[in-house]
């Protein structure tokens, strides 16, 4: 009865050790068990569904503005994104939000456009969201979930082989779930946000947008937001940590910004 479980566990372990890649812009190693084609397929499907469910803005001027900013940032990535079919859509909603999906699909909400003081601040957000895609953060999180589930399966099999009491087994698995969430998944989510901030600033500056606008925009976001959990229980860095990091990063990209601002004027 236990052989199928053991075979599955062996397959998981082999998969985990064979699925590594690197983030181009930072050199960080990441676990990757999802292919670029799978990732793009999921992104394209999700974007089509969002377009059916959300109200798309018909404001020609706003759409032209977002497409102009988005295309400049996409060009500043400086490399081809697998299966990218770039599309920039404005959603008519007061939500202060934007997102990017694998396959080059980007959505920006009018609530965010209204909050932003200028194109630079909008570009910072779009750059951040595109950086999530180029760094394959979504696929990495999916891969990590596979890994967490795989290790949990190994633990379950080990306890079953040793005939551990079912109640103790359930307690151990519950503790494992909480531990991996707080000690692994959430820290990686915060790392992804910080990495997207850094890479996104580079993309925005490379498109001729001022990287100093990041701190000013996130200050407004912080003032608009309500109560938030402690940083160690959050998917994002604290507002204070994020703003301080963005202020620290901005000078690094000023030469790139000035060079490309002149080019795009």
pLDDT in tens, 128-160: 999 999 999 999 998 888 777 766 666 677 776
Are 102 and 138 a contacting pair, CB within 8 Å? yes
Q: SS3 of 238, please?
A: coil
- For 114-137, what is the mean pLDDT? 96
Domain membership of residue 171 (yes or no) is yes
Domain membership of residue 46 (yes or no) is yes
* Tens of pLDDT, residues 75-92: 999 887 877 889 999 999
Domain membership of residue 2 (yes or no) is no
Domain membership of residue 77 (yes or no) is yes
Across all residues in the chain, what is the average pLDDT?
84
| Sequence-ordered list of residues with C-beta below 8 angstroms from that of 4, at least 6 positions apart, any chain | none
How many structural domains comprise the chain?
Answer: 1
Which residue in the list 25, 39, 121, 129 is annotated as catalytic?
Answer: 129
Q: What span, in angstroms and rounded, lies between the C-alpha atoms of 216 and 131?
A: 19
Domain membership of residue 1 (yes or no) is no
pLDDT at 26: 93
Distances (CA, A) of 144 to 24, 33, 149: 19, 8, 8
Q: What span, in angstroms and rounded, lies between the C-alpha atoms of 131 and 123?
A: 12
Between 20-24, 66-70, 71-75, the lowest mean confidence (pLDDT) is in 20-24
Residue ranges making up the domain that contains 175: 7-264
Domain membership of residue 139 (yes or no) is yes
Q: Tell me, yes or no, if 129 is annotated catalytic.
A: yes
pTM: 0.82
Closest by Cα among 157, 201, 129 to 13? 157
């Amino acid at each position: 009865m236990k052989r199928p479980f053991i075979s599955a566990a062996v397959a998981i372990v082999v998969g985990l050790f064979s699925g590594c890649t690197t983030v181009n812009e930072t050199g960080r190693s990441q676990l990757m068990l999802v292919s670029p084609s799978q990732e793009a397929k999921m992104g394209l499907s999700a974007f089509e569904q969002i377009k059916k469910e959300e109200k798309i803005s018909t404001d020609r001027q706003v759409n032209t503005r977002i497409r102009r900013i988005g295309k400049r940032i996409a060009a500043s990535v400086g490399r081809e994104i697998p299966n990218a079919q770039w599309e920039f859509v404005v959603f008519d909603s007061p939500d202060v939000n934007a997102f990017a999906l694998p396959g080059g699909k980007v959505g920006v909400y009018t609530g965010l456009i209204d909050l932003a003081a200028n194109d630079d601040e909008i570009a910072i957000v779009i750059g951040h969201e595109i950086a999530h895609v180029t760094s394959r953060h979504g696929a990495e999180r999916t891969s990590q979930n596979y890994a967490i589930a795989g290790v949990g399966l190994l633990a379950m099999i080990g306890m079953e082989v040793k005939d551990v009491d079912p109640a103790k087994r359930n307690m151990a698995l519950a503790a494992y779930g909480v531990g991996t969430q707080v000690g692994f998944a959430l820290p990686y989510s915060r790392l992804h946000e910080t990495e997207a901030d850094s890479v996104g600033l580079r993309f925005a500056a490379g498109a001729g947008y001022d990287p100093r606008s990041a701190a000013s925009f996130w200050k407004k976001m912080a003032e608009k937001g309500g109560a938030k959990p402690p940083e160690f229980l959050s998917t994002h860095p604290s507002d204070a940590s994020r703003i301080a990091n963005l202020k620290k990063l901005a000078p690094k990209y000023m030469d790139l910004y000035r060079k490309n601002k002149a080019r795009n004027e």
